Structure 1
Amino acid sequence: MNFIELNQYKYLFLDNIQDSTENPFAIIITLKTGEVSEQTEDLTVGGATIQDVRPIIENESNRIKVIFPSYVAYNIQRETYSLGNDYDIFEGRNAREYSKSRYMEFVKSDTIASDEWPGKLKHFGISCCWEIVDIISVDKPKIFVDA
């Protein structure tokens, strides 16, 4: 499976993120998939009750490990506070590969990393149900399903 094929999963949950201290540095992201519950429940928001809501639940048995063999930078932000913008250009929905992004520009301007060293930089994003993870890496990630 390649990175963009992660978009076959409608809901992704960040389960764990691990920063390897080995050389080369690696970042290991463990995801769980989600699904819409068969059972309904009532949801009260701001004093109003919405009946027969089907919540999205995490699938404990389906795990995906995304390994970036090397990375320059990564960032995690709470999905609630994220702003969409018309500047970034990417392919994908939950698993995104950017061709233009403000985060890439930030990393290039704030670090010594460039397309010359350590090599052609790529921006990948994983939009989970509660968090958004952005990764700048030279390498495409390796994907392991049910890891």
Structure 2
Amino acid sequence: MTDLWKTIDHPTVVWANDSENWLTKQIQPINQSLLVVDIAAAIRGSEQGSVGGIDGVYPLEIKLESDALRLRFYDFVAYSVTAEMFTQQGNQEASVGGWLRIFSKSFYLEFVERSTWATSGFPGDLIHYQINTLDHTIDVVTSNPPEILKSIQ
């Protein structure tokens, strides 16, 4: 359980959770055991447009000057990507964090525990990490804390 708290208190995680308007930049399963998720801070676009029938709005975009993070999940058990508008969290779930979140109890973690043969014996105690952006929710179940890096665009 100590790795769980070290990860949520990691200075980069604290900085990310205090920031605003993250967008998903890229999700790439590198191979059978590595998942890389890149997110970047959205910056207001320079040209107004129309969104959902509302005129005069500025789009949020990833630009070269956007702050960015890379999360590397080694030996993940499962991951899921959900369009942000369809994401929900139940009252029975328990988590800490904001944009980057760790669940101690979740429906997704229960699903993975019931639908796979992963156990605390192998690969180890499972942890549910969640990356929330303005456009997606990325859920990852693994027994290893992710490597978190501020990345260069």
Name 1:128's counterpart in structure 2.
Answer: 133
Q: String of CA shifts for 1:13-70, please: whole Å, max 9, x gaps.
A: 1111111226xx1111111112456x68475645xx566x554332433221111122
Segments of structure 1 that go 5 or more residues without pairing to the other structure are: none
Q: Equivalents in 2 of 1:144, 1:35: separation in Å?
A: 20
Q: What amino acid maps onto 1:27 in structure 2?
A: L
Q: CA deviation at 1:87?
A: 1.9
State whether residues 12 and 149 of structure 2, in contact with CA within 8 Å, keep that contact through their aligned partners in structure 1.
no
Q: What amino acid maps onto 1:140 in structure 2?
A: P
Q: Equivalents in 1 of 2:100, 2:93: separation in Å?
A: 14
2:37 is aligned with 1:29: yes
Name 2:26's counterpart in structure 1.
Answer: 16
After TM superposition, the structure 1 stretch with the greater mean CA deviation from structure 2, 120-129 or 84-93, is: 84-93
Q: CA deviation at 1:6?
A: 2.4
Which structure's CA Rg is the greater one?
A: 1
Q: What amino acid maps onto 1:70 in structure 2?
A: D
Q: CA deviation at 1:3?
A: 3.9
Q: What amino acid maps onto 1:12 in structure 2?
A: W
Note the aligned Cα RMSD (angstroms).
2.2
Aligned residues: 141
| TM-score w.r.t. length of structure 1 | 0.82
2:107 is aligned with 1:107: no
Segments of structure 2 that go 5 or more residues without pairing to the other structure are: 1-10
State whether residues 82 and 137 of structure 2, in contact with CA within 8 Å, keep that contact through their aligned partners in structure 1.
yes
The percent of aligned pairs where both chains have the same amino acid is: 21
| TM-score w.r.t. length of structure 2 | 0.79
More helix by share: 2
